[in-house]
Amino acid sequence: MKFGTKAIHAGVHPDPTTGAIMTPIYQTSTYVQRSPGDHKGFEYSRTHNPTRTQLQDALAALENGQHGLCFATGMAAIDAIVKLLEPGDEVVATNDLYGGSYRIFTKIFAKYGLVFKFVPMHDVQAVRAAMTERTKLVWAETPTNPLLHIIDIKAMAEVAHEFGALLVVDNTFATPYLQTPLDLGADVVMHSLTKYMGGHSDVVMGALIVKDDELHQRLAFIQNASGGTPGPQDCFLVLRGLKTLHVRMQRHCENGRAVAEFLRQHPRVGQVYWPGLESHPNHQVARQQMRDFGGMISFVLKDDKVEDAVRVLEKFQLFSLAESLGGVESLSGHPATMTHASIPAEERRKAGLSDSLIRLSVGIEDAEDLIEDLAQALD
Ligand SMILES: *Cc1c(COP(=O)(O)O)cnc(C)c1O
């Protein structure tokens, strides 16, 4: 089945009692048993809920996995993966990653004796040098946030497996429309469904997708034992969003290209970070592992002054200044003070993240209007 057909149909079945084509919102905490232990596969909604099950199945199908697991937020999904580890275990992660991932690693899990190393992951040698026999997880995010580096997923899977570690790929920026990491050797795909997958800026949720049955069992145990699960109403909203994922992503990519081309030739704009540009240092890897290049773009002004970047952000009319990304509407952000404020300034500088960097989540409006907005703000 092709991707768009899967986005609409995979994992979803008409409701067995009524035939409702849309998955009902099973707003219930518990399920009646006929006799002790004699139930229909549902006992308590932290463990299983039919609306959540259909979403989990749809996600597994889209990522070419076997099992999906949904969580109340992307962070709760990350929390569950790290709980696979034991004190003394090591994690090698990309140094250009979501600020919240950096924060949970360094401020929460480091306290429990886990060791985190951050490396520029587009450099395979740097990753290899950081690996030891205690490394249990390799944590990749690609495209990276906010510098849009591309990490070679296949190469990471080889290094991780050579050391007996699992490769986790945060696929939030790409979505399975652009890349399916499990096909390239990753063991776990992680999502903030809050972003492109939900797609309408109306829900916060996370997910994990795996192929391996045993790994699924371990993660499902943590999902139920720790309890960071989403409610059925939110699952319904993400299921609804998934049905247009391919159409939205196609437009995000087209608009992304139009905006990147516009910024690249603008006299006030310095470097433009978008993996679809041939000048992008990881463009070849992006071509190999991605179907298109997405709608996330970062750029700096030629003068690289923070005050000027702030003025541009204030002038935007359509690119609303807000945290988050991946919705139908265009957003702008200032990573140094917003999404990445939890990463110390020195770490940010080491990762090459300028305080004047502007990040755009290009929505699915008409490209002409978006470009007009950028032009007036830059002028
Ligand atoms: C937003 C985001 C997260 C965290 O997800 P929440 O749903 O906000 O908890 C993790 N990784 C990336 C890349 C994100 O953009």
The average pLDDT across 254-273 equals 97
Tokens matching residue 95: 């140094």
SS3 per residue for 47-78: CCCHHHHHHHHHHHHHCCCCEEEEECCHHHHH
Q: Is 250 left (phi over 0), alpha (psi -120 to 50) or beta?
A: alpha
Provide residues with CB under 6 Å of ligand 1: 73-75, 98, 100-101, 141, 145, 170, 172-173, 192, 194-195, 204, 206
Pick the CATH number of 245-378 from 1.10.10.1100, 2.60.120.260, 3.90.1150.10, 3.30.70.360: 3.90.1150.10
Rounded to the nearest angstrom, the distance between the alpha carbon of 171 and the centre of ligand 1 is 10
Q: 198 near 325, Cβ under 8 Å?
A: no
> Which of 70, 75, 237 most suits a substitution to test ligand 1, by most atoms within 8 Å of the C-beta?
75
Pocket test for ligand 1, best of 148, 190, 192 (most atoms within 8 A of CB): 192
Domain 3-242 matches domain 245-378 at the CATH topology level: no
Residue (of 23, 25, 28) closest to 43 by Cα position: 28
Cα-to-centroid distance, 38 and ligand 1 (Å): 39
ω into 143 cis (within 30 of 0): yes
The beta strands (E) that lie in 97-197 are given as 115-119, 135-141, 166-170, 188-192
Atom of ligand 1 nearest to the CA of 206: 7
Phi then psi dihedrals of residue 9, to 5 deg? -110, -25
Atom of ligand 1 at shortest range from CA of 325: 15
Single out the catalytic residue among 195, 211, 251, 257.
195
Query: Is 31 marked active-site?
Result: no
List 6, 89, 96, 98, catalytic entry = 98
77 CA distance to ligand 1 middle (Å): 9
Residues 6+ apart with CB under 8 A from 15: 23, 24
Q: Is 98 a catalytic residue?
A: yes
CA distance 143 to 141: 6
21 dihedral zone (left: phi>0; alpha: psi -120 to 50; beta): alpha
**pLDDT tens, position by position, 291-345:** 999 999 999 999 888 899 999 999 999 999 998 999 999 999 998 888 888 888 8
Q: Which atom of ligand 1 is nearest the CA belonging to 173?
A: 13
Residue owning the nearest CA to atom 11 of ligand 1: 98
The per-residue pLDDT for 353 is 86
Residue with tokens 């797609």: 199
* Ligand 1 centroid from CA 31, angstroms: 32
Instruction: Please report, for the chain, the start and end positions of each structural domain, with discontinuous segments joined by +.
Output: 3-242, 245-378
- State yes or no: is 287 an active-site residue: no
Q: Note whether 155 and 176 are within 8 A (CB).
A: no
Q: Which of 184, 142, 141, 185 lies closest to 166 in space, CA to CA?
A: 185
As to burial, measured by CB atoms within 10 angstroms (0-12 exposed, 13-18 middle, 19+ buried), residue 255 is: buried
- Return the residue matching tokens 């034992």: 225
The pLDDT > 70 percentage for the chain reads: 100
Instruction: Write the residue with the smallest CA distance to atom 2 of ligand 1.
Output: 192
Protein residue closest via CA to atom 8 of ligand 1:
74
Question: Which tens digit of pLDDT belongs to each residue from 72-121?
Answer: 999 999 999 999 999 999 999 999 889 899 999 999 999 999 999 999 99
Q: For residue 289, is pLDDT > 90?
A: yes
**What is the predicted pLDDT for the residue at 116?**
98
Identify residue 124 by its one-letter amino acid code: V
Candidate from 70, 172, 202, 229 with most ligand 1 atoms within 8 A of CB, to mutate: 172
Q: How do residues 4-53 score in pLDDT, each as one tens digit?
A: 999 999 999 999 999 999 999 999 999 999 999 999 999 999 999 999 99
Does the pLDDT value for residue 235 go beyond 90?
yes
Domain 3-242 has CATH 3.40.640.10: yes
